[in-house]
Structure 1
Amino acid sequence: MALFVHDINEQPNAFTTTLSQIPTAVGIHDPGSFATAALDIYENGWISPNNAWILNLWPPGFILLEVSIVKIFGINTPIILILQIIASLLFSWVLALLYKFFSVQTKSYVAFGVPLLIFAFPVSRVFLLQPIGLVLGESFSIGFFLLTLLYSIKSVEKKSVWYSVWAGVFLALSAYFRSQFELILMGITGWALLMGLYLYIKKTSQTLRTAGKSIMISIVVAHTATIPWRLYHWKYQGSPLWTQTSGVTFENSVLSPEELEKKSGSLVVTGGGNLVCRINPTVCNDRENARHLFFKTFFENPSKWYAIKLSLIGKFWYTSVGGFWKTPNEVPSMSDLFINSSFLSMLLALPAMLVTRRVRSHPSWLPLTLLTIALFSTYILIFTVQQFESRYFFFPKIVITFIFLITASIFLRPKDVAQELPTTSN
Structure 2
Amino acid sequence: MRKKIIVSFLVTYGIFIACIYFYLFIFHTDTIPAELKGTSVDPERFLTAHEIVLSEQYSTVRNFLFFIEVPFEWFFYLLILLFGIGNLFEKWANRTTPFTLIHNAIFTFCLSFLTFIFFYPLKFFRYTLSKNYGISTQSFHDWMRDLLINFWLDWFLLFIVVSVLYWLIRKSENRWWLYTWFLAIPFVVFLMFIQPVVIDPLFNDFYEIKNKSLEEKILSLAETAGIPSEHVYEVNMSEKTNALNAYVTGVGSNSRIVLYDTTLEKLNEDEILFIMAHEMAHYVEKHIYFGITGYLSLLFLLLFVVAKLAKKVIKKFGKLLHISSMNNLASLPLILLIVSVLTFATSPISNVVSRQMEMRADLYAMELTKNNDAAVSTFQKLTKTGLSQVNPPTLVKWFRYGHPTMLERIQMAERYGD
Higher RCO (CA-CA < 8 Å; seq separation 6+):
2
Q: Point out the structure with max Rg over C-alpha.
A: 2
TM-score if structure 2 supplies the norm length?
0.24
TM-score if structure 1 supplies the norm length?
0.24
